[in-house]
Amino acid sequence: MKPVLFTGAGVAIITPFNEDQSVNYDRFCQIVEYQLKKGTDAIVVCGTTGEAKTLSTEEHVRLIKLCVEVVDHKVPVIAGAGSNDTHYAVTLSNEAEKCGVDALLSVTPYYNKTSQRGLITHYNYIADRVSAPIILYNVPSRTGVNIKPETYAALAEHPRIVATKEANGNISEIAQTAALCGDNLSIYSGNDDQATAIMSLGGKGVISVLSNVVPGVAHEIVQKYLDGDYIGSRNLQLEWLDLCNVLFADVNPIPVKEAMNMMGLDVGPVRLPLVEMDEPSKAKLRACLVKHGLLEG
């Protein structure tokens, strides 16, 4: 049985920018501190929600280093370090390890893509060249690549491949992965709206966009389930389902950064090629935040 990195809701933290789209490092540190105060269970830095693919290597590594320093071992820090270039993924992973991260998040190769056999070769190549545990990241809507259950079973044989952030949306495939891998692979929901469902299949929690806005709620959805309050977890999941959905009404992280700005958390704009939400979408987002008492009407 492999060790479990964390249970609960880990925030896929945003990267705040200044109006000129430069990284606002001071604000980033404040947001990390805010997450810690609100009870987040882990911090995933420089992932999709952190707009990692528009960050330079220098920006990427500096954000990871700052996150590790601010967190100071209070919760696990997991660094996005994947790439569609296997050799660059190793380089970035090694840089993240030097910063003292607890684990690496490694997205499937995107754009150039690969086969299932290629995924096994790609990930084993990385895992052989790092010392930190690896969380695979399966998000076919972004990458065009889906990790099949049988591929997970092969990858889980590597001692440093310990978990997956599963965002393919296919509960049947996730069940098959759980059946094939057992305790060899921890499964985290990569979709907030499926957290309870995936935990019913043995999942350990969620890597959450919702946590940027309401970290306490995301934590409670998972904690209730872990405590055996399955109905409470389900009810809370359904109560906040509308916000989970509206946070994906546009390309992530456009809506979540807009929501945080509306709430006065001051995270700045998204970085090109992403652009801000249109006015009708903003109105729907605002109405949802008002409904949940996160904004005044």
Active-site residue list = 137, 165
DSSP per-residue string spanning 233-297: HHHHHHHTHHHHHHTTSSSTTHHHHHHHHHTT----PPPTT--PPPHHHHHHHHHHHHHTTSS--
Where b means 16+ CB within 10 Å and e means fewer, 144-169 reads: ebbbbbebbbbbbebebbbbbbbbbe
Measured from the Cβ of residue 65, the count of other Cβ atoms closer than 10 Å reads 18
The rounded radius of gyration (Å) of the Cα atoms in the chain is: 18
Q: Side chain identity at 83, as an amino acid letter?
A: S
Angle of CA points 111, 117, 122, to nearest 5°: 60
Per the listing, tokens 């052989």 go with 128
The token pair at 37 is 């105060």
Which of 204, 183, 106, 203 is CA-nearest to residue 147?
106
